[in-house]
């Protein structure tokens, strides 16, 4: 079943809007935010926008030196150690945040990997599903005390148009019987991000926690590090003179535009009373896929029944449950 709220609401913003555009007039003074992946690509711009509105932003980082370099000059930022591939590291980070007593108003799950070679985590799980989805599942459940303490919190899951590549194959999530395909694995993980937001929103709304997922746009960042030059070139991201294209109407964005929908989902008053929806271009997305516009969310990434199935599987895989 797809939510009747899964349709555009006329936000007043659009494909070319930037993170700084959507944060204008928003006051986050006294609020704490966490941005995973906040020291690379669109994550940096997400952190910059939230901090500019007065939030204290915590950036968990596997590479703290790189984080310090990339976030230098942005006031109101803390860097903490965490590795999304390591359950113990996630638990330790969440424990430190909860022990600090600070309510957590915003959690943006922006970190991830794309089209990576076949690999497995210590539990034997396929790496893209393990890092992009299970790592964030562990993180959200670990931070639940801090999120509920805020009384009014938002969790934002950065998905992508990769949802159109594949749904979640519940019979073979870890590619045990089917041949590994890096793009199918990526699509599955991104669909899981969207479904996670639906399941999370259903469980969190009574605690004042609402969740959203989104497609940021097509942007060249460190996320493409596993791709060949031929694969990168196939995205048609370059002008004839070798410069990066900027064509937001057709989904090709710069990092400032790519961060906008994350920031909008995390802060916009227009989303009050809504949750569990997939967004793009700083608005709620339509259901479907129009090849002429490259807009919309795949039906299997917006289905509440599939979201419940994923939640149960995620509990089994991690051994974690709310409460």
Q: Using alpha carbons, select from 206, 99, 78, 90 the residue that is nearest to residue 148.
A: 206
Q: Rounded to the nearest 5°, which phi and psi values hold at 151?
A: 80, -20
- Write out pLDDT tens, residues 204-216: 999 999 999 999 9
Nearest Cα residue to 154 out of 80, 259, 257, 264: 264
Rounded to a whole number of angstroms, the distance between the first and last alpha carbons of the chain is 26
Give pLDDT, residue 160. Answer: 92
Nearest one of 61, 58, 48 to 22, comparing CA atoms:
48
Predicted pLDDT of residue 219: 75
Question: Which phi and psi (to 5°) does residue 180 adopt?
Answer: -70, 135
Enumerate domains of the chain plus CATH numbers. Answer: 19-217+255-315 (3.40.50.720)
Sorting pLDDT into bands at 50, 70 and 90, what band is 252?
confident
Active site residues: 186
**pTM for the predicted model, two decimal places:** 0.92
The candidate with the shortest Cα–Cα distance to 56, out of 76, 27, 79, is 76
- The 10s digit of each residue's pLDDT in 254-300 is 999 999 999 999 999 999 999 999 999 999 999 986 655 568 999 99
Contact 286, 172 (CB under 8 A): no
Contact by Cβ (8 Å): 140, 200: yes
């Amino acid at each position: 079943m797809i939510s009747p709220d899964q349709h555009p609401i006329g936000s007043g913003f659009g494909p070319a809007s930037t993170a700084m555009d959507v944060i204008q007039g928003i006051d986050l003074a006294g609020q704490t935010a966490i941005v995973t992946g906040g020291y690379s690509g669109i994550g940096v711009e997400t952190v910059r926008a939230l901090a500019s509105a007065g939030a204290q932003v915590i950036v968990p980082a596997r590479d703290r030196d790189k984080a310090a370099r990339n976030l230098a000059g942005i006031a109101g930022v803390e860097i903490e150690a965490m590795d999304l591939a390591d359950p113990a590291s996630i638990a330790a980070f969440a424990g430190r945040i909860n022990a600090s007593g600070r309510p957590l108003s915003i959690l943006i799950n922006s970190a991830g990997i794309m089209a990576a070679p076949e690999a497995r985590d210590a539990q034997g799980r396929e790496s893209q599903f393990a890092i992009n989805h299970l790592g964030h599942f562990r993180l959200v459940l670990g931070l639940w005390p801090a999120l509920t303490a805020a009384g009014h919190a938002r969790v934002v899951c950065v998905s992508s148009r990769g949802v159109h590549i594949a749904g979640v194959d519940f019979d073979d999530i870890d590619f045990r019987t089917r041949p590994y395909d890096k793009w199918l694995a990526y699509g599955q993980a991104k669909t899981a991000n969207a479904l996670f937001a639906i399941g999370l929103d259903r469980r969190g709304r009574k605690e004042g926690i609402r969740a959203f997922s989104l497609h940021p746009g097509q942007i060249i960042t460190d996320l493409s590090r596993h791709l060949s030059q031929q694969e990168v070139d196939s995205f048609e991201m370059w002008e004839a003179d070798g410069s990066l294209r900027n064509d937001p109407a057709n989904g090709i964005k710069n990092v400032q535009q790519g961060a906008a929908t994350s920031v909008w989902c995390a802060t916009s008053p227009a989303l009050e009373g809504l949750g569990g929806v997939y967004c793009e271009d700083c608005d709620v997305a339509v259901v479907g896929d129009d090849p002429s516009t490259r807009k919309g969310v795949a039906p299997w990434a917006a289905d509440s029944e599939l979201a419940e199935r994923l939640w149960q599987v995620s509990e089994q895989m991690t051994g974690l449950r709310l409460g």
